[in-house]
Chains A and B, each alone.
Chain A
């Protein structure tokens, strides 16, 4: 169903088929089939409680942490089943990073926040390499200039927007292929939001990004593809321009025109 909007062929990075999620007995997702393309930004939108975060968390298996959460169906990353018995979640999460709604820097220095992931995955052989990783990640996240003089002060001492960019830098420090973002701007003011959106634009060159957002404008600004969820169903997915201009489903139309949600 995908049109070739972004010059060149589209490569499927993540593919989910008939994904159902149960919290204890309650089914929160009723069979989601969604393709996510490489080097593009996919926005997940929908009213509160429709299962956007639940779906997002399936992609890096963060639902494993939740007691009583069960998943059926299949999700592949580069054609590999990520729920396969033989798959190591640690390696999966090295490839699929995540940024949360509320900035959650670790109670460590700015430097150590970034170094955390590379150190866990053994990406740096020595201090010098680590310094490079930290500097590069901060630069990619557009934070380096602001913090280069206080890399050793605590990450929790930054402003909310800076903290969120720190979390993004932390995620890209392990050089992932996919970055999941769950309402990354909902705790930020417009200026900090604009910075993050700009950053998403740049990151798209190298990463596949899936972003959950409540803001139609944000979805329209940052994404190439948009998926609309409603009450646990994936109602409609398509190029962002099409979804916002010519939604096929009545529920999508109602939602983006602000009739509910």
Chain B
């Protein structure tokens, strides 16, 4: 039904375009028009199409909600004394039956309601078709009557375009706000169950608590410090790897490599950036972690199977192209006149790089590093596969640590209720993570921007 309806609306719009254009060009042979004929066409087509398609989307979105509550009140009126949960389940059953999923239910009430729901859906669908097509036709008739020499169709089209773009950006912004708000609210709920001081300053993190009465588990402890320290430790290892290598390769690419060399080596780095993080993840877990452990044992070190070192190393490799391409941009933005000035003083290439280019590019490089750190902190897949689950408060990279992102993943898989602290802890962790990366990004971008202004 839906595709046909859309096609019909588009067809109406399209014919609106041709009708409007034809009508306007007929007029044009007699007098001068304010807007070119095709603008009249666009005007009709857009007005026929956009509002009706919006109506269809709205209708399709609201229908299940409205029908659901209708069904529920019907069920409630037909059978009394049941818990709200029962009604939810019954409504779901009705919905499935109506959608043609056989459940084998014998309950006559449900069967009958499902039948009723199906007929409601049918009539809703048909009325949607009728209403929208009628609406499109009406708009077409109305807008057609506006085609006249003095009619400012061009302005109308511009306005519609403007509105369309405005709505798109509003949706993007509202979604962001919505996500942040929900994070904040859920975090507040978490802090109703767990004191905020424990979360921020506690040194123990044991989220494994009993959810059902028959489970045996601890009481839980919600000190986030070991979790964050794990994140920082792994990010630190990653930056130790990625910082120097990324920066050096950026210097090589921008200052030493011939254009030909640059032409084929840069794409290779970009491929590195395109590898899905999950691939890095199993590389870390299956290849590197055992290697690190065996290597450690060979030189007499105690290395755990899932060490922060292994996860950090792989994460570092992942970040290399990120740092290298950002730093490359920054170094290229250093004006050629500075290099010339240095060479003209008799400086060699490496002296010029160390003493002029790097200091000139430093703010930008710092910005690049901060962005990279924020990437490392938010990275999930590698640590989920290669880092541990124990919130171990340590600075030793040979031990097993966990990270914020891993704990969020853990909190949201397996048995869960939506109001127990384990699940809600994910939101609190997420919020803090969000704040940290937000600050890092804002600071980094501000630094980079200031740097760009200096040399434009």
Q: Are B345 and A97 in contact (CB under 8 A)?
A: yes
Of A67, A108, A156, A170, which contacts B345 at CB under 8 A?
A170
Of B335, B347, B351, B454, which contacts A104 at CB under 8 A?
B335
| Residue from A92, A120, A121, A156 with most neighbouring chain B CB atoms (10 Å) | A120
Chain B's closest residue to A91 (CB) is B346
> Is A87 positioned at the interface, with any CB of B under 8 Å from its CB?
no
Q: Are A120 and B341 in contact (CB under 8 A)?
A: no
Give the residues in chain B near A167, CB-CB below 8 Å. 341
> Is A65 positioned at the interface, with any CB of B under 8 Å from its CB?
yes
> Is B115 positioned at the interface, with any CB of A under 8 Å from its CB?
no
Give the residues in chain B near A100, CB-CB below 8 Å. 337, 340-341, 344
Q: Are B337 and A120 in contact (CB under 8 A)?
A: no
With A90-B348, A100-B337 known to touch, is A106 a contact of B343 (CB < 8 Å)?
Answer: no
> Is A165 positioned at the interface, with any CB of B under 8 Å from its CB?
no
| Residue from A102, A104, A108, A117 with most neighbouring chain B CB atoms (10 Å) | A104
Q: Are A90 and B346 in contact (CB under 8 A)?
A: yes
Q: How far is the CB of A68 from chain B (nearest CB, A)?
A: 10
Q: Are A62 and B343 in contact (CB under 8 A)?
A: yes
12 contacts between A and B (CB under 8 A): A65-B340, A90-B346, A91-B346, A93-B344, A100-B341, A104-B337, A104-B340, A106-B338, A108-B359, A120-B347, A156-B454, A167-B341
> Is A94 positioned at the interface, with any CB of B under 8 Å from its CB?
yes
> Is B360 positioned at the interface, with any CB of A under 8 Å from its CB?
yes
> Is A19 positioned at the interface, with any CB of B under 8 Å from its CB?
no
> Is B269 positioned at the interface, with any CB of A under 8 Å from its CB?
no
Give Cα A240 to B337, complex, Å: 31
Chain B's closest residue to A119 (CB) is B355
Q: How far is the CB of A178 from chain B (nearest CB, A)?
A: 12
Chain A's closest residue to B351 (CB) is A120
Give the residues in chain B near A116, CB-CB below 8 Å. 342, 345, 347, 355
Q: Are B341 and A106 in contact (CB under 8 A)?
A: yes
Chain B's closest residue to A112 (CB) is B355
Q: Are A89 and B356 in contact (CB under 8 A)?
A: no
Q: Are A97 and B344 in contact (CB under 8 A)?
A: yes
Give Cα A102 to B348, complex, Å: 22
> Is A174 positioned at the interface, with any CB of B under 8 Å from its CB?
yes
Q: How far is the CB of A62 from chain B (nearest CB, A)?
A: 6
Give Cα A108 to B348, complex, Å: 18
Main secondary structure of the interface of B (DSSP, over half): helix
Chain B's closest residue to A170 (CB) is B345
Q: How far is the CB of A111 from chain B (nearest CB, A)?
A: 14
Q: How far is the CB of A22 from chain B (nearest CB, A)?
A: 18
Q: How far is the CB of B341 from chain A (nearest CB, A)?
A: 4
Q: How far is the CB of A123 from chain B (nearest CB, A)?
A: 11
Chain A's closest residue to B344 (CB) is A98
**Which residues of chain B from 253 to 296 have a CB within 8 Å of any chain A CB?**
259
Give the residues in chain A near B454, CB-CB below 8 Å. 156
> Is A60 positioned at the interface, with any CB of B under 8 Å from its CB?
yes
With A106-B356, A107-B359, A108-B359 known to touch, is A120 a contact of B346 (CB < 8 Å)?
Answer: yes
With A106-B338, A106-B360, A107-B359 known to touch, is A60 a contact of B345 (CB < 8 Å)?
Answer: no
List 19 additional A-B contacts (Cβ < 8 Å) besides A67-B259, A107-B356, A107-B359: A65-B343, A90-B346, A90-B348, A91-B346, A93-B344, A97-B344, A97-B345, A100-B341, A102-B337, A104-B337, A106-B338, A106-B341, A106-B355, A106-B359, A106-B360, A116-B347, A120-B346, A156-B454, A171-B344
**Which residues of chain A from 66 to 119 have a CB within 8 Å of any chain B CB?**
67, 89-94, 97-98, 100, 102, 104-108, 116-117
Q: Are A89 and B341 in contact (CB under 8 A)?
A: no
**Which residues of chain A from 35 to 61 have a CB within 8 Å of any chain B CB?**
60
With A106-B356, A106-B360, A120-B351 known to touch, is A94 a contact of B346 (CB < 8 Å)?
Answer: yes
Q: Are A62 and B344 in contact (CB under 8 A)?
A: yes
Chain B's closest residue to A101 (CB) is B337
Give the residues in chain B near A93, CB-CB below 8 Å. 343-346
Give Cα A89 to B342, complex, Å: 13
Chain B's closest residue to A107 (CB) is B360
Q: How far is the CB of A121 from chain B (nearest CB, A)?
A: 6
Give the residues in chain B near A107, CB-CB below 8 Å. 338, 356, 359-360
Give Cα A121 to B346, complex, Å: 8
Give the residues in chain B near A120, CB-CB below 8 Å. 345-347, 351
Q: Are A104 and B338 in contact (CB under 8 A)?
A: yes
Of B259, B339, B344, which contacts A60 at CB under 8 A?
B344
Give Cα A108 to B259, complex, Å: 30
Give Cα A61 to B345, complex, Å: 12
**Which residues of chain B from 328 to 379 have a CB within 8 Å of any chain A CB?**
335, 337-348, 351, 355-356, 359-360
Give Cα A258 to B243, complex, Å: 57
**Which residues of chain B from 218 to 265 have a CB within 8 Å of any chain A CB?**
259
Give Cα A102 to B340, complex, Å: 11
| Residue from B259, B341, B351, B355 with most neighbouring chain A CB atoms (10 Å) | B341
Q: Are A104 and B341 in contact (CB under 8 A)?
A: yes
Give the residues in chain A near B359, CB-CB below 8 Å. 106-108
Give the residues in chain A near B341, CB-CB below 8 Å. 100, 104-106, 167, 170
Q: How far is the CB of B60 from chain A (nearest CB, A)?
A: 59
Give Cα A97 to B343, complex, Å: 10
Give the residues in chain A near B342, CB-CB below 8 Å. 106, 116
With A106-B356, A107-B360 known to touch, is A89 a contact of B344 (CB < 8 Å)?
Answer: no
Q: How far is the CB of B164 from chain A (nearest CB, A)?
A: 46
Q: Are B337 and A174 in contact (CB under 8 A)?
A: no
Give Cα A17 to B351, complex, Å: 33
Give the residues in chain B near A121, CB-CB below 8 Å. 346
Give Cα A60 to B341, complex, Å: 12
Give Cα A117 to B340, complex, Å: 13
With A100-B340, A102-B337, A104-B337 known to touch, is A174 a contact of B356 (CB < 8 Å)?
Answer: no
Give Cα A62 to B339, complex, Å: 11
Q: How far is the CB of B450 from chain A (nearest CB, A)?
A: 13
Chain B's closest residue to A167 (CB) is B341
Of B338, B345, B360, which contacts A174 at CB under 8 A?
B345
Q: Mark B33-47, 1 if CB is under 8 A from A, else 0.
A: 000000000000000
